[in-house]
Structures are given as structure tokens and as C-alpha cells.
Amino acid sequence: MRDSFYYFFRKTYNKIMLLLIFLLSLLATLPFFYIAYFVFQKGFSAINWDFFTKIPSGPGIAGGGLANGILGSAVMVGMACLAGLPWGVFLGVFLSEYRFHPLSKLLRFVVDLSVSTPSIVIGIFIYSLLVSFFGFSAYAGAMALMLILIPIIGKSAEEILKMVPNHIREAGLALGLPRWKVILQILIPGTVAMLFSGVILSIARIAGETAPLLFTSLGNQFFSKSLNEPTASLPVQIYEFSKSGFPDLEAMAWGGAFLLISFVFFINFSTRLLIFIRKPSYKNEF
């Protein structure tokens, strides 16, 4: 009788705690839903065909869009990604596969440090390294974004490769493959879907960076004629228009924010889906 009472008590207690945890988790995600709703409500109405095809018109003039910012962001993020991706993956490979190498400790320290470096510091760094000599440009912006990207990709690649159990590597070595072939032909192809997801998640991460671009690509009211010119970008346009004080520009900024959030949401959602479909199973792990 006593036992069954305790059992009942424990079960109820368990249920209450579970409910509490659920409610608290919900509470923690609430701000996000609120932000998403808020941005949607304010920004969605600004989205139309002109938004994607026209450059901003002056304050008080109807119409116009953020085409130059969208293009500038795409170009700079694209360049940063093309240049940073191989570096990042190599970095991840080194951190994971040569983790006993004496250099590895130092490198891991540097990477941890640079992941947590405020992005504005990276902006200032590129400013003094490049911009102060060659002026504001898309190249400088892409460089700053790349510096943010490399350690993020490196970290995610490291974590993903570390998930591969060691006996898989040993099976490759035992087949008479040199270690670099085991990495290139077995580990990387075997985890490519997850590595790829890591890369696009980090793209989503840099797409919204504003501070480093303020110091490097600056901004441009028009389309840039070359990569050597100051270049508009979505986050910087959002930043500038939202503090402009003109209602029509502010509406445009909300539209940009909505676009950016949708992009990030879309990327996160589709990579989750990709991981869900392609995740290798190590079902024999116990």
C-alpha cells in the first residue's frame, strides 16, 4: 500500500516536472516567434517585384527596392564562401584527424579565439589591412566575411568528422590506404551531406553580418560597377534605412529584415531536412 502510494506520487511528480520543463522551453522560444511575427507583419508588405529589381529611390519618392544590396550581399557572401570553404574544411580535417599533432593544440586555441572574436574587430582589422590602402570594396567585404566563415566551417567540420567512429578509419588503414586517402575518399564522402549542411548554416550566419561590412564594403546607393568599389549589402541597407527617419525607407528596411530572416529560416529548415535524409547511421555503435 505504501509502495503504491510512493509510486503514484513519483509518477505525478514526474509529470509535473515534465510539464514545467515544457512550459519553460516554450517561454524561451517565445521571443523568437515574436520577432518572426513582428518582422513578418512589418516587412511582408514591402516585398514586391520592385523590391528585388530596383535600387533604392530617395526618401519621399515612391517605389524603389534593395536590388543592389541583395546583389552585393550575394556576391560578397558567395566570394567569401568560395574562398573560405576549402580552408575551413582543411582546418576541420586537421583539427579532427591530426588532433595529436603538436600544431593542433595551438590551432584549436586560435580557432576558438577567432570564433568568439566580435565581428566588428574583424571589420576593423580588414579596414586597417586593406581598406586604408585600397579603399572600400567588395573584395574587402568578402575578405572580412571569409575570416568569420573559416573558423566556423572548421569547427563544424571538426565536430562532424569526430563523430565518425575510429574503427572506420582503422578499417581504411587496414585495407592498405594511406591516411590522406582514408580522409579524402572515405571520411569526407561519407559525411559530405553533414559537412555541406555545416557550410550552409555558416553561410546563413555571415549573411546577416553588418558591422564588418560597414568597415570594408561600406555601402552604395547604386549598383557597383566593379568589385573594387564600395558595395551595397542587405544588412548595411537595413541598418542605414532603419535609422533614416523616413517612413518609406524604414518600411524598406523591414522588408530587408524579412528577406534576411526568411533566407536564414529557409536555409536552416532545408539543411535539417537534408541531414534527416542523408545522415549516415552508425547503428552498430553501442
Which residues sit at the interface with another protein, rule CB under 8 A? 100, 164-165, 167-168, 170-178, 181, 185-186, 189-193, 278, 280-286
Burial (CB count <10 Å: 0-12, 13-18, 19+), residue 180: exposed
Q: Considering the complex, what minimum distance in angstroms separates the CB of residue 95 from another protein?
A: 15
8 Å CB contact between 94 and 101: yes
Dihedral sign of CA atoms 259, 260, 264, 270 in order: positive
CB of 21 to another protein, least distance (A): 34
* Three-class secondary structure of residue 64 per DSSP: strand
What cell numbers appear for 12 in the block?
A: 505525478
Give the orientation angle of helix 247-278 with respect to helix 2-43, to 10 degrees. Answer: 130
Q: Which residue, 86 or 178, is less far from another protein as judged by CB?
A: 178
CB nearer another protein, residue 45 or residue 185: 185
Do the beta carbons of residue 241 and residue 256 sit within 8 Å?
A: yes
Nearer to another protein, 191 or 202 (CB): 191
d(CA 172, CA 183): 9
- Cell, residue 235: 544588412
Whose Cβ is closer to another protein: residue 97's or residue 248's? 97
User: CA-based angle 86:195:81, to the nearest 5?
Assistant: 40
Would you say 2 or 283 has its CB closer to another protein?
283
**Least distance (Å) from another protein to the CB of residue 207?**
28
Least separation in angstroms between residue 245's CB and another protein is 54
> Which residue, 10 or 278, is less far from another protein as judged by CB?
278
DSSP 161-197: HHTS-HHHHHHHHHTT--HHHIIIIIIHHHTHHHHHH
Q: How far is CA 92 from the centre of its chain?
A: 16
Shortest separation between residue 26's beta carbon and another protein, angstroms: 36
Q: Of 107 and 168, which CB lies nearer to another protein in the complex structure?
A: 168
Give the nearest distance from C-beta 88 to another protein in angstroms.
Answer: 20
- If you count DSSP H runs as helices and E runs as strands, how many of each does the chain have, helices first? 14, 0
Q: CB 183 → another protein: shortest distance, Å?
A: 12
With a CB cutoff of 8 Å and minimum separation 6, the contacts of 234 are: 66, 69, 70, 72, 73, 207, 256, 259, 260
> In whole angstroms, how close is the CB of 16 to another protein at the nearest point?
41
Q: Is the CB of 7 or the CB of 282 nearer to another protein?
A: 282
Question: Is residue 243 within a helix (H) or strand (E), and if so which, with residue range?
Answer: none
